[in-house]
Every structure is written in C-alpha cells, then in structure tokens.
Amino acid sequence: MLRRRVVQTLALAAGLITAAPAMAQQPFADVGRQPPITILINSSPWYAGFESTVQLYEKQTGNKVNLDVTPFGGMLEKARNAVRSGTSPYDLLNLDTQWTIEFYSGGFLTPLKDIDPGFDLPAEVLTYNDSGYWNDAKKWRTRDGGKLMTYSPNGNVHLFMYRADLFQGAGLKAPETWDDVMGACTKLQQPGRVYGMVTRGERGNGIRFDWMPFMLGKGATVAKDPENGDFTVVINSPQAKQALDTYIDLMKRCGPPNHGALGQSDVIQLLATGRAAQGMVVVAAWSNFDDPTKSTVAGKINAAVVPKFADGTHGVVIGNWHFGVPRNVPDDRKKAAMAFSKWFLTAGAQRAYLDGGGIPVRKDALPPELASNPKYRWVKAYVDSQPYAKQELGYAEGPQVEQILGLRLNQALIGEMSSGRALNTAAKEIEEVFRRSGRRTGASAALPE
C-alpha cells in the first residue's frame, strides 16, 4: 500500500514537472470556433509582428482572420466608407488616435461591452491616457463615465535614438535634457557627413507631432482645459514660444539644410545609414535600425526617453492605434472580433507579438529584465516613457487644429515668420475654429513678434 502511494506520488510529481512548461505557456484564451473576420490594418514597421501573431491565432484556434493591409494614406477613407455603408466589410478597424474622435462621436462603433458584457481590459493592458474610452456627454476620451470603445494594438510614442558607439567614443552619457542633445550635437556632428540631430520638420502632421514633445516639456498646451469645456486658446504662451525656439534652434544647428521638408522616412533613413548621431522617432521605427539589411548601424543605436528641458519635464506624445468594432457588422462577426481581441490581449499573444517585431500593449510582456537582451534594449525607454505620455488634440476640431499648427510651425521653422508671429497666427486661427464650433473659447495675450 505504501509502495503504491509512493509510486503514485512520484508519478504525479513527474507529470507536474513535465506539464509545467505547457502550463506556463498557456496564457492564451480559449475562444472557441468563430466565423472568419476581416481586419483593416495599416502597413507599418510593426505589421510583421502583428501578422505573425494573427497566424498564431489561426493555428491555435482554427479561426480564420483576413487582413486588409493598407498604406496609411488610404486607411481613413477605407474606414469611413466601411462605417458609412450598409454593412461594413471589416469587423475590426484600425484607427489612428486622431481619427477616433470622429468615429466615437459619430456613433460608428459599438462599445465593446455591448458586444460582450463580461469583457474587461486586463489590468496589465496599457490604455494610453484612456484613449479607448468615450464619454459621449462630455465628448471626451476618458474612463470616467466613458464607455470602452476600442483598445490599442500598438502604442506609438516617441523615443530618442542616439548612436551609442559615438557617444561612448566622445565620453558622453545618454542625453537627458535638450541641452545635453545640443552639447552632443556640437561634439558629434560632421558637416556634410553626420548630422547632430534629426526629427521631422515637414509641414502638417510631421512637424506638429514632433514639436509637441517640446511643447509638453515646457508645460504648454493648445487649449486651456478642453476636457472641462474651456477651449481658451493658450498655444501662444511664452512657454510654447520657448519650446518652439529650442526646436528651431536644434533643427537649424544640428539638422540637415532641408529640415523644413524632413518626413518620417527621411529621419529613419538618416539614422539607419549613420548620417545622424541623434534623432527622435516613434518606437515602431526601431525595427529599421537593428536589421542589417536595412541599417548600416545595426546594434549601434540605443533608445532613451525623450529629453526634457532643464526646468521642465519629459514631453511624450502618444500616437497610438485603436481597434474598434463597427456598428454596422452582424452580431456573429462582432462576437468573433471580440474573441480575437480577447485572445490578442493575453500575455501569451503579446509575447508572441513582441517576438515577431511588434510593440506589445501589456506591461507584463515588457518586464524590465527584457532590456538586458540587446534585441530589446529599447524596452526600458519605452516603459519609462509611459508616465509622461499624453494624448493631444482629443476633440472634434483636432484635424483642423493640426493643419493650422502644421502650417504655422513649418513657416516658423523655414524662416517665413518669427516663432512669436507663427504662434499668434495659429492661436487666432484656432480660436476661430473653436468659435465656429460653438465652443467656449477666447484668446491669450499676444506674444511679441
């Protein structure tokens, strides 16, 4: 009897030991059989990671997922056509952060809990300033009184990239402040061969997005308190001017002569070909730098949190994407979309996503020890950036405000007008936009021009 018990216990222990790896690998969701779904997804540096994760989902569950891969320029119109038609051809739409207000306020998406009342975002999932929630009464993206409309498959924030080998050779530490960046630029740039620092300066979304870390770093903003209905325009503040002057100074002294036309692909190209010692790009661009088929500086670039002003804070702008379920989709496909979403947000799926080259949206898929792996040396900067990350232009007039800022900032950068005049002009035009929309708005004192 005793012998039998010992044998049974040993057998059980052996079973547990051999099953442990399998159990540890089971942080996926069992979603059952679902009808095929179609996802509208952008072609991007992180697409390969997403695609491999989808393939894993199909293999594990036997459920089919069709991917309509579309360049960024075509995404918005495809999404609009889908939700404004009789039945959407897509069951999950991938929306850039600046488009979400249009889709939330237009009533084009089904709140996720309306499809699956038991669904909740796992606590580990990053919510990027709650941009997936929509409070329709306040017309604001907030968890407070808001419904969960979307979740992020990708949380793009800026990271500051720098050539670790050049920094080490010059005895420099990773830049913490914009003064550090300027100091490094002065030491490292070689006219005609290596630029000190590059970031976007092209008119439109490019300069708006890449200047805003400077703006946030100085504590400046566009409108006073839009969440609570105060749309007084404050973009032409002394802090915003200092932010703009610093940005322009860096671009002119450290960047290429065509800084007013630099786009994202140009910045990535300059960093990846070793023509830039420092640069600011979104985290999703990382895969370009360590791939020896795309980069001449593979293994030489490190990432840091976006620098701050000596008297300010780190300014990090969020440019995340959002998966939402269109309202005009049959119920069975909505449920299938939710099944995929639940699976995608599990720890196992997010780790697979990371391995495939994606940027996970779960904190536990990005443990600190991961950064000791050279392949994931960007992770610490990404995680450290999160407390500072902010959403901007989260109101219906956002696209118009972006176009105004995108033009006037660019004009200041290329010298068509002074920074003071650019911000005053932008402020006046933005105030006009808010006034026409019926917002409670006003102006600040003009800056000297």
Partner 1 sequence: MPSRLLDLVHNTFRYWSLLPAIVLLLVITVYPALQLLQMSVSTIEFVDGRDVWSFTPGRNIELLLSDPVLPPAILNTIIFVIVTVAVELSLGLGLAILVGRLPHGRGGARTAMILPILVPPVAIGSMWKLMYNFDFGLFNQALDGLGLGPVNWLGSTNLALISVIIVDIWHWTPFVFLILFAAVEGLPVDVIEAAQVDGATNRQITWLIVIPMLRDALAVAFIFRAIFAFKVFDEIYLLTSGGPGTATEVVNLHLYKVFFEQNQLGYGALLSVAFIAAILAFLLVSRRVTRDTTR
Binding site for partner 1 (CB under 8 A): 76-77, 83-84, 102, 105-108, 202-204, 256-262, 266, 269-270, 273, 275, 327-328, 399-400, 403, 407, 410-411, 414, 416, 429, 432, 436
User: What are the structure tokens assigned to 18, written together?
Assistant: 């051999």
CB of 191 to partner 1, least distance (A): 11
> If 0-12 CB within 10 Å is exposed, 13-18 middle and 19+ buried, where does residue 224 land?
middle
Amino acid at 225: D
Q: What are phi and psi of 75, to 5 degrees?
A: -65, -45
Q: Residue 194 or 383: which CB sits closer to partner 1?
A: 194
Q: Is 230 in contact with 440 (CB distance < 8 Å)? A: yes
**Comparison of 86 and 118: residue with beta carbon closer to partner 1:** 86
Cα separation, 154 vs 382, in Å, equals: 12
Closer residue to partner 1, CB minimum distance, 34 or 97: 97
Q: How far is the CB of 136 from partner 1 (least distance, A)?
A: 10
Strands 278-282 and 158-163, sheet pairing: antiparallel
Give the whole-angstrom CA distance, residue 147 versus residue 144: 9
User: CA 423 to CA 425: how far, in whole Å?
Assistant: 5
How near is the Cβ of 74 to partner 1 at its closest, in Å?
Answer: 11
By C-beta, is 260 or 394 nearer to partner 1? 260
Instruction: Give min distance, CB of 49 to partner 1, in A.
Output: 25
Inter-residue contact 97 to 321 (CB < 8 Å): yes
Q: Where are the alpha helices (DSSP H) in 176-315?
A: 178-188, 205-217, 238-254, 264-272
Of 57 and 108, nearer to partner 1 (C-beta) is 108
Q: Nearest distance from residue 399's CB to partner 1, in Å?
A: 5
Give the contacts of 398 (CB within 8 A, at least 6 positions apart): 98, 101
Tell me whether residue 155 or residue 326 sits nearer to partner 1 (CB atom): 326
User: Among candidates 284, 290, 268, 305, which has minimal Cα distance to 353?
Assistant: 284
Task: Pick between residue 101 and residue 234 the one whose CB is nearest to partner 1.
Answer: 101
Q: Are 151 and 119 in contact (CB under 8 A)?
A: no
CB 255 within 8 A of CB 279: no
Which two structure tokens, joined as six digits, stand for 163?
């050539």
Would you say 39 and 91 are in contact if contact means Cβ atoms under 8 Å apart?
yes
Residue 427 Cα to chain centre, angstroms: 26
Q: How far is the CB of 400 from partner 1 (least distance, A)?
A: 5
Quick check: 155 and 359 in contact, CB under 8 A? yes
Minimum CB distance to partner 1, residue 288 (Å): 15
Q: Which is nearer to partner 1, 82 or 447 (CB)?
A: 82
- The two structure tokens encoding residue 86: 């009789």
CB of 214 to partner 1, least distance (A): 19
> By C-beta, is 245 or 432 nearer to partner 1?
432
* Closest separation in Å from C-beta 235 to partner 1: 16
Type and span of the H or E element at 383 = helix 379-385
What's the closest the beta carbon of residue 257 comes to partner 1, in angstroms?
Answer: 5
- Which CB, 53 or 410, lies closer to partner 1? 410
Residue closer to partner 1, measured from CB, 62 or 107: 107
Return the half-sphere exposure (C-beta side, CA atoms, 13 A cut-off) of residue 385: 28
CA torsion, points 251, 308, 443, 140, in degrees to nearest 10? 110
